[in-house]
Amino acid sequence: MSLNLGKTAQNLRNWRSWKKNTQFLAVLVLLFSVLVTTYAVSNFILYLSRAAAAKIYFAPSPLDLPPNSTVSVMIDPADNTSLQGGWVFVEFDQTKVQLTGEIMPNPTFSTIVRVTPMSEANTTGKIEVALGLPPNVPSPTGIMEWAKIPLRAVNTTSSTTNITSNIVNSQLVYLVNGQPQSVALTTTAGIIRLNTLPTPLPTSIVASPTPRPSTTPLPTASVAPTSPTPTSPTGPTVSLTPVADSYVSGSFTTTNWGGSQTLSIDNSPEIKISYLRFDLSSLAGQGIRSAQLRLRVKDVVGSGSTNTQSVKLTDTNWGEFTINYSNRPLPGQSVAVINGGQDGTFITVDVSSAVISKQGQLISFAIDTTGDDGLELFSKEYSLTTHRPTLIVSTTTGPTPIPPTPTRPPNTPTPTLRPPTPTPSVPVQPADTTLSITNSSGSSTPTVVLGQTFTMNINVNTGINSIVGTELYINFDRTRLRAVDIVPGVFFANPVETLERINNTTGTIDYVLHTPPETPAKRGSGILAVMTFEAIGVGSAPITWITGVDGTIIGAINTGARNALKSATGATINIF
């Protein structure tokens, strides 16, 4: 027996006050849609006494306003797993900081019970974010972001304030042995520094104007003494995030990990190599003093490493959602060495010479190791932007200083590593996959009535390609259509959704879908996904594809890690 989830959610939205016990049971009903019996409630009380305390905290902390503008409400689950939802209460001093936009909840928890509007939060200084996990959606694991809060300083006075979580009223509900469990909570306040000078970057990130001493050895070779290189006055610092990143695994040779929030590096028992690609076109014509690659070791215990890892240049011609171990570009010349790292810390390595050599172009790094103590890093998909890989480039107001060329002393042996596994030779297929948008009757120009809710299919025909996943980027007429939902079609069996983002303000849908690991690639035709819209305005409403460099991608095997999309046709909805 189940309860009506939509009706329950609507009733919750209409409540004007909540008592703690009523709130607890209401959240449980919302999240699980089960009949809560007296026996079950007594079990919840027993669970409470056994549960490890989860933690609600804020990141980054301290937060500087300006220049930072967003604080994330974070949840550390401790020993708990399978978070099903919860009710988090946040408080701040509205006389010192104000929201600049609406709160952005974690999209995975798409059943929204209550999110305080910006106007209400700015009046009361109180925020509620109550979210639930939809049915059949797997719960995220590990530390996660609950919501983003955009903030600004109210005035220009230098001061400090806090943002806190009211854990007396807050609740997080986990599934334990098939039963909902409300766990104990702890919290740490977030510190907000208002109108203070930002803390200078550490010297490991910002290059010193003093040239590197000529006696500093490179990791792989001795360097003959050279004359100091003249330097130019320091210019602005440019921070770049990867345009693509992924890792490959020698144990899963045809699996792609482009949608993962992790970059893995290991050599035993499983070979794992991480790849990052940066676009340096914004640096064309600028002088470059130094370039530092900054990486964040995951906060999960065991993510750090005591081994060293090599940062190497590699080919830029690989696809984020198509690269795998079989089609990977082989790592080339080593340009830096990472001396491992501890859990939850930043790693910074100097890649200046490599960036200068590729100035104005794309640059791709492969990170590998010969050790058996693996390193786990956050990728660009990680929700906390401060923890994503970053290339920090210090520029000059003059031309790029030309670094001295290292000279290897005569008869110095070249270090050798285990030779790379040869890449299997397979014929490279051309892009042959097409996409189209039609209704269930096959029409791309259907007629609907104002106010009608209807569906449109995203159809795929792979041609000669065998595909493993796709990134779909779609525009629609936001003045006449409201996007309601997008779900997988029947083309892939048990697909994995790694991104579902609907924005009715901009009229866009972003959707990433792929096959599970070790599932064979799929060839043929069928319905890839199904979109649901509501007609909100009279007239012709186009639905079009975003294509090109930053557009829709079809990931396929045997295409040389290139986009397998040949063409994509949209639809026009006639509304009367």
For position 269, which CATH number holds? 2.60.120
Answer whether residue 21 is part of any domain.
yes
* Cα–Cα distance measured from residue 20 to residue 31, given in angstroms and rounded to the nearest whole number: 17
Does 562 map to a domain?
yes
> How much is the pLDDT for 67?
67
Distance CA 301, CA 280 (A): 34
- The reply to whether 245 and 181 lie within a common domain is no
Considering the domain boundaries, does residue 364 fall inside one? yes
Q: Is residue 247 part of a domain?
A: yes
CATH of the domain at 478: 2.60.40.680
DSSP at 385 = G
Q: Write out 401-428 in H/E/C secondary structure.
A: CCCCCCCCCCCCCCCCCCCCCCCCCCCC
- Residue 226 in domain: no
Instruction: Tell me: do 437 and 333 sit in the same domain.
Output: no
Q: What percentage of the chain reaches a pLDDT higher than 70?
A: 76
Nearest to 77 by CA among 55, 57, 95, 98: 55
Q: Is 261 found in the same domain as 121?
A: no
d(CA 571, CA 45): 54
pLDDT for 232 equals: 52
Residue 514 is encoded by which pair of tokens? 């792929």
Contact residues for 399 (Cβ-Cβ < 8 A; gap 6+): 232, 287
Number of domains in the chain: 3
Residues 395, 69: Cα–Cα separation, whole Å:
25
**Tokens 């959602």 map to which residue?**
321
Residue 65 lies in a domain: yes
Q: Which among 574, 543, 513, 562 is positioned nearest to 436, based on CA atoms?
A: 543
In three-state form (DSSP H/G/I as H, E/B as E, the rest C), the secondary structure along 221-269 is CCCCCCCCCCCCCEEEEEEECCCEEEEEECCECCCCCCCCCEEEEECCC
* 162, 192 contact by CB (below 8 A): yes
SS3 (DSSP) at 187: strand
Same domain for 380 and 240: yes
- Examine the fold and report which residue of 396, 412, 443 is the final residue of a domain before the chain moves on: 396
Does 340 reside within a domain? yes
Which residue, 207, 219, 238, 256, is CA-closest to 553? 256
Terminal C-alpha separation, the chain: 41
Range of the structural domain that residue 497 is part of: 433-575
In the listed set 396, 421, 450, which residue is the last one of a domain according to the structure? 396
Rg (C-alpha) for the chain, rounded Å, is 26
Question: What is the rounded distance in angstroms from the CA atom of residue 242 to the CA atom of residue 367?
Answer: 14
Quote the pTM value.
0.36
- Measured CA to CA, the distance from residue 111 to residue 116 in angstroms comes to 15
Order of strands across the sheet with 244-249? 244-249, 272-279, 362-368, 309-313, 334-338
Task: Answer yes or no: do 47 and 119 share one domain.
Answer: yes
With H, G, I as helix, E, B as strand and everything else as coil, classify residue 120. helix
User: 102 with 179: CB under 8 angstroms?
Assistant: no
Domain end, chosen from 372, 396, 420, is at 396
pLDDT of residue 203: 35
Under a CB-based contact definition with an 8 Å cutoff, are residues 353 and 277 in contact? no
For residue 123, which phi and psi values (nearest 5 degrees)? -85, -40
Residues 322 and 451 in one domain: no
* Residues 25, 87 share a domain: yes
Whole-angstrom CA distances from 324 to 88, 268, 561 are 40, 18, 8
93 and 184 part of one domain: yes
What is the model's pLDDT at position 415?
45
Strands 287-296 and 346-350: antiparallel
**In 3-state terms, what secondary structure has residue 89?**
strand
* Residue 288, domain member (yes or no): yes
Q: What percent of the chain has pLDDT over 90?
A: 41
| 319, 379: one domain | yes
Low-confidence ranges of the chain (pLDDT < 50): 1-51, 198-227, 229, 403, 405-409, 412, 414-425
For the beta carbon of residue 222, count every other beta carbon within 10 angstroms: 12
The confidence score (pLDDT) of residue 142 equals 78
Distance between CA atoms of 503 and 485, rounded to whole angstroms? 11
Which pLDDT tens digit goes with each residue over 211-242? 444 434 444 444 444 445 455 556 678 889 99
Tell whether 121 and 258 lie within a shared domain: no
Note whether 262 and 181 are same-domain residues: no
pLDDT at 505: 92
Note whether 439 and 526 are same-domain residues.
Answer: yes
